[in-house]
Structure 1
């Protein structure tokens, strides 16, 4: 049996109506001995029905989802739905407040911390509460991401491979309904693997869809619009949203990420000069970019090549680059049966 969560909230998940308050994460500091970290949360319920868990701010420097979900909280009322919607627009609130990918409290990446620990650091406690309290009451989870400060991403939705044919078809259906230009299937190679919210959801039998809506720590108008319309379509598909006009989804292109060769990494410290753009089609062996060395001006730039062919899914934003930084990720087309 897992340890009981230390996080609490005055929100009653079984009560009808619209409640907006906080998850309270206990955190003792020099100036706040019995203090807690406020994690904004809304619960909107109207009778029996499915539950959708909507999350943004898993990484603090990704903004389209945060704005989309705060807009949803203000605009959605209990009479608009059947069932329950639980909304967390700033899940990793310390990181959101700092505009960082990781929490300034423990330097932990929330989306590398699942399923978390009840008696761990603040980030681990948040992951544990989601895993052990919120996911068991959910039928679907939507985790809205963007590229953050380090990456610019093509607007896309993604899922993990289903554990069986029926689960996989259900996940593919979610991506079709969400309606991103690109939908890809990934097991997290090069990323979070089994430590993500999506992985924790799958372990608990909850359907999970993630997004990438832009990047560079800016707010993409296109990404925000996609987040808002995609969520409404998913809620409508589940029978939660009642009596609302929902725009039909656009066609999506199904793709996948094939192992470590899909990534280009920096091998040295220097200034990155990209030779391809997000959304560009590239070939194996094609020039990906250069690493320049301003501190050693007689040193020739290092050439980097793509190790696979496909579509550029994301590209590094900051020019200053450290050894091991991801510079590009490549996707290839996937036949969906």
Structure 2
């Protein structure tokens, strides 16, 4: 096992249910020998696959945090065949602050992999996940949303698979999660990904992974949360960890390739003309940016360089150059 300065309060090989913290050392002015606690729950009921589920990688993405905490409370180890490891608030300082990045070190955890065992707290968490936990698992499920600045419909993200067997598994996981949309990456990096995300970390370790975008706007949508909780149980059943669960009939998933994002080049107030799932034509005006400090100036038209549908939309009214306003996808 890789060396890490992070210590765990539990033995994930022990049977039954355990809960505690990963202790991330953090020495500060007012806490010389202090540590940051990352909550971890493990349900272990003997032989079977190990599934790792994470949320709170970005602290302002809430559906996944609630869903994993509720799953931890509701499940009994006797219902499980195998082992389930839950990290509902992976970047705990960011989750506590309700921020995308950690207030401790300004670290964006899902841009910090493979991490550093002796780095900042965010880098240490990334390293621990990639080098210690992921190699002990058979599947990673990483839960996100659009956070404070964006909103998505419930969408699974997956690659095409590095081999035919993995492609078959990822499609089965997509069908099991059964979200309205699936963002399918057009190519696989194999086992040599240079990405800085948790999915890339799993890829480097040869562990299949899926991610989900489950809402956003810095709020909790009860319908999206219900789809999330349903989907997680369906995945556990599909993978054999929850054999007694009886899934309801599937709703169906629309598979998409993302074309790209539409960005602001001006500062002002953003007026969107399109909603989630609306159709967009290439060159169509899909919003305006108003400079209210120059009230007599005409607003700047935002046109789409892509044709397709709106998969994500900015929710904050104020924009500046470089802000993503829309994400456009098309059917596969």
CA–CA distance in structure 1, aligned partners of residues 143 and 194 of structure 2: 17
Residue deviations 1:90-121 (CA, integer Å, cap 9, x gap):
00000000000000011111001111110111
**2:103 corresponds to:** 104
**1:293 corresponds to:** 291
CA–CA distance in structure 2, aligned partners of residues 102 and 30 of structure 1: 22
Structure 1 segment 81-230 matched on structure 2, within 5 A:
81-186=80-185, 194-230=195-231
RMSD over aligned CA atoms reads: 1.6
For 1:126, what is the secondary structure of its paired residue? helix
**2:312 corresponds to:** 314
Q: Structure 2 vs 1, CA of residues 67 and 187 (structure 1 numbering), >3 Å: closer, same or farther?
A: farther
Retained in 2: the 8 A contact 1:42–1:73?
Answer: yes
CA–CA distance in structure 1, aligned partners of residues 10 and 126 of structure 2: 18
Output the TM-score relative to the length of structure 1.
0.94
For 2:118, what is the secondary structure of its paired residue? coil
**1:33 corresponds to:** 32
Residue deviations 1:56-104 (CA, integer Å, cap 9, x gap):
1011001111111111111111101011000001000000000000000
Gaps of at least 5 residues in structure 2 are 188-192
Retained in 1: the 8 A contact 2:186–2:257?
Answer: no
For residue 244 of structure 1, report the CA deviation from its aligned partner: 2.3
**1:72 corresponds to:** 71
Q: Structure 2 vs 1, CA of residues 304 and 204 (structure 1 numbering), >3 Å: closer, same or farther?
A: same
For residue 205 of structure 1, report the CA deviation from its aligned partner: 1.1
Retained in 2: the 8 A contact 1:61–1:149?
Answer: yes
For residue 187 of structure 1, report the CA deviation from its aligned partner: 6.8
Retained in 2: the 8 A contact 1:160–1:198?
Answer: no
Task: Give the aligned length.
Answer: 327
Output the TM-score relative to the length of structure 2.
0.95
Gaps of at least 5 residues in structure 1 are none
Retained in 2: the 8 A contact 1:187–1:193?
Answer: no
Retained in 2: the 8 A contact 1:179–1:251?
Answer: yes
For residue 315 of structure 1, report the CA deviation from its aligned partner: 0.4
For residue 3 of structure 1, report the CA deviation from its aligned partner: 6.2
For 1:235, what is the secondary structure of its paired residue? helix
Retained in 1: the 8 A contact 2:56–2:88?
Answer: yes
**1:45 corresponds to:** 44
CA–CA distance in structure 2, aligned partners of residues 168 and 95 of structure 1: 33
For 2:195, what is the secondary structure of its paired residue? helix
CA–CA distance in structure 2, aligned partners of residues 91 and 109 of structure 1: 11
**2:263 corresponds to:** 265
